[in-house]
Amino acid sequence: MIDKISFEDFKKIEIKIGKIVAAEKIEKSDKLLKLEVDFGDPSTSSGLGRRQIVSGIANDYDSESLVDKSFVFITNLESRQIMGLESQGMILAADVEGHAILLEPNQEVNPGTLVR
């Protein structure tokens, strides 16, 4: 059974559209990719600028295939160190039989747009 959270707790999660501008495999890791993600102009109310996100999706995605594509991210997680690299968010994916299926908007959306 999964613990339920309140709607107030859910509202604390910041989910935004980010556009991957660079991606590369992390040395000495089979499953990690380092992503540079654009979350919009930081001078605007919704923009966060660029962030580095480390994700365990290399078994399912080639780094070059992700560049210039937009996906859904959680942007207000505490940063954490993964293999010596700071990860400043999390890309969201569906788990289909152990494979990551990344969540993409079905039309063009500006980086930094809030998901509601």
pLDDT of amino acid 1: 83
- Position 109, amino acid: V
Residue 93 and residue 86: Cα distance in Å, rounded? 20
Provide the CATH topology of domain 13-102. Answer: OB fold (Dihydrolipoamide Acetyltransferase, E2P) (2.40.50)
Which parts of the chain have pLDDT scores under 50?
none
pLDDT of amino acid 47: 84
- The SS3 call for residue 10 is helix
> What CA dihedral angle connects 60, 114, 80 and 25, to 10 degrees?
30
CA angle 116, 78, 13 (to 5 degrees): 15
pLDDT of amino acid 92: 98
Taking only the tens place, the pLDDT of each residue in 2-27 is 899 999 999 999 999 999 999 999 99
- Domain coordinates in residue numbering, the chain: 13-102
Tokens of 54: 């480390």
pLDDT of amino acid 74: 97
Q: What separation in angstroms does the CA of 63 have from each of 39, 59, 76, 106?
A: 19, 10, 24, 21
Q: Report CA torsion sign: 29, 31, 36, 39.
A: negative
pLDDT of amino acid 45: 80
